[in-house]
Amino acid sequence: MIFGAKRKPGMSREDFGSYWTTTHAAKAVKVPGIARYVINLAPDLSGSGREMAYDGFAEVWFESEEAMRASGRSPEIRVVLEDEKNLFDLSTRFSVIVQENVIVG
């Protein structure tokens, strides 16, 4: 599963990255069934301060489709979803269930 989002209005890029990789991640790792969780932050490599459409993406891996579906019924996922309002501009948040096709590596 892949998630993408923009930080909530008024939140700096640095605060967004810090909150997502600490406070929010600490809640997410408690969700049963997650085999791997990767947060990909989108840095301002140009140094221009330019706003991007998205500030980050997350990959959430499960051992099976059933494990993914079970995690969505857990009380722990409700804690994570409730915390999203402290982090994301919810109007930009999306999630997609994907199937991996490794080409290199």
H/E element, 13? helix 13-19
The domain that holds 64 is classified in CATH as: 3.30.70.100
Q: How far apart are CA 69 and CA 47, in angstroms?
A: 40
Query: Is residue 78, in this structure, part of any structural domain at all?
Result: yes
pLDDT value at residue 48:
84
**Main-chain dihedrals φ then ψ at residue 2, nearest 5 degrees:** -120, 135
pTM over 0.75: yes
Is residue 32 a contact partner of residue 69, using CB atoms and an 8 Å limit? no
Tens digit of each residue's pLDDT, the chain (105 residues): 999 999 999 999 999 999 999 999 999 999 999 999 999 999 888 788 888 899 999 999 999 999 999 999 999 999 999 999 999 999 999 999 999 999 999
pLDDT value at residue 73:
96
Q: Is 29 exposed, middle or buried (0-12, 13-18, 19+ CB in 10 A)?
A: exposed
Query: Is residue 91, in this structure, part of any structural domain at all?
Result: yes
- Using the 8-state DSSP alphabet, how is residue 60 labeled? E
Structural domain span for residue 68: 2-44+53-96
AA letter at 1: M
Q: How many domains does the chain have?
A: 1
